[in-house]
Amino acid sequence: DEKHFVGTVSDITISVYEGDLTQEKVDVVVNAANERLYHAGGVALAISEAGGQKIQKESSEYVTKHGTLPIGQAMHTGAGKMPCKYVIHTVGPKWKDHADKETVQSQLYEALFNVLHYAANRLKARSIAIPAISAGIYGVPVDICAVQLVLATQKFVQSPPANNTLRDIRFVNIDGQINSAFVRVFSGSF
Ligand code: ADP
């Protein structure tokens, strides 16, 4: 993968990479899932295919037991055959569902903020790889997406949880244009 941007805040490195998220050698890969945790397209399908049947099976069992995963919330499954240990699934907002674009922005912020705390508190993860949540099929303009992901990351690194384990936060984009926008927004933010 090509590493484009690195910043460090209180021992936590923040980077932007162009590459395939499913191949990252990190503790946690984040999935931009839908509420039914049905991994049929985009990065969700890529993760489901790379990891194997285990991911969809555990996801479906979760929905049967707990119901759908609300926008902005997080749960995790194993990672199957991927190099990472866990997949944290979160649900971003859909651009077209909200006339009020501030709602989209706050839900996207909340999704990543919850994911980072989940990774640190529940999974004691050291490293995490994150896609451009909501910037694909869900239609959020990439600059708006990147700004909210920056704001949530800044909030996390400025006041990390007690005994924080996270040291390596990576944003990984398979699409070159999305990645360029991320590099632009992330540069100078950390
Ligand atoms: P959403 O439905 O939340 O919009 P998508 O899965 O459609 O999520 O897309 C989120 C982003 O993930 C898009 O920018 C897409 O290009 C990107 N993406 C798709 N596959 C991969 C992958 N294997 N690695 C990294 N990013 C990916």
Q: Is the pLDDT of residue 1 over 80?
A: no
Q: What is the model's pLDDT at position 188?
A: 85
Q: Which residues are CB-neighbours of 43 under 8 A, at least 6 positions away?
A: 21, 31, 32, 131, 136, 174
Identify the residue whose C-alpha is closest to ligand 1 atom 15.
Answer: 136
Number of alpha helices (DSSP H) and beta strands (DSSP E) in the chain? 5, 7
Please tell me the distance between residue 133's alpha carbon and the centre of ligand 1 in angstroms: 7
Residue nearest to atom 20 of ligand 1 (CA): 43
Instruction: Tell me the CA–centroid distance for residue 42 and ligand 1, in Å.
Output: 5
Atom of ligand 1 nearest to the CA of 22: 23
Query: Which residue among 89, 174, 178 has the greatest number of ligand 1 atoms within 8 angstroms of its CB, and so is best to mutate?
Result: 174
Could you give phi then psi for residue 172, rounded to 5 degrees? Answer: -120, 120
- pLDDT of the residue at 10: 85
Q: Which residues pair with 170 in a beta bridge?
A: 15, 129
72 — alpha (psi -120 to 50), left (phi > 0) or beta? left
pLDDT tens-place string over residues 111-169: 999 999 999 999 999 999 999 999 999 999 999 999 999 999 999 999 999 999 999 99
Q: Which atom of ligand 1 is nearest to the CA of 21?
A: 24
3-state secondary structure of 14: strand
More confident residue, 55 or 5: 55
pLDDT in tens, 49-98: 999 999 999 999 999 999 999 999 999 999 999 999 999 999 999 999 98
The phi and psi torsions of 113 (rounded to 5 degrees) equal -60, -45
User: For position 145, what pLDDT does the model report?
Assistant: 98
pLDDT of residue 128: 98
By DSSP bridging, strand 86-91 and strand 168-173 are unpaired
Average pLDDT of 11-32? 98
Bridge partners (DSSP) of residue 3 are: 17
- The interface pTM score, or ipTM, of the predicted complex is 0.99
**From residue 167, how far is each of 79, 126, 144, 160, 164 by CA, in Å?**
20, 5, 25, 11, 8
Q: Where are the strands (E) in the chain, listed by range?
A: 2-9, 12-18, 28-33, 74-78, 86-91, 127-130, 168-173
Q: What residues line ligand 1, using a CB cutoff of 6 Å? A: 20-22, 32, 42-44, 46, 92, 131-138, 172-175, 178
pLDDT of residue 138: 98
Q: Residue 25: what pLDDT?
A: 98
pLDDT of residue 5: 81
State yes or no: pLDDT of 2 exceeds 90. Answer: no
User: Does pLDDT of 26 surpass 90?
Assistant: yes
> What's the CA gap between 9 and 13, in Å, rounded?
7
Distance CA 144, CA 134 (A): 10
Counting Cα atoms < 13 Å in the Cβ hemisphere of 188 gives 3
What is the tens place of the pLDDT at every residue in 36-59? 999 999 999 999 999 999 999 999
CA of 162 to the centre of ligand 1 (A): 31
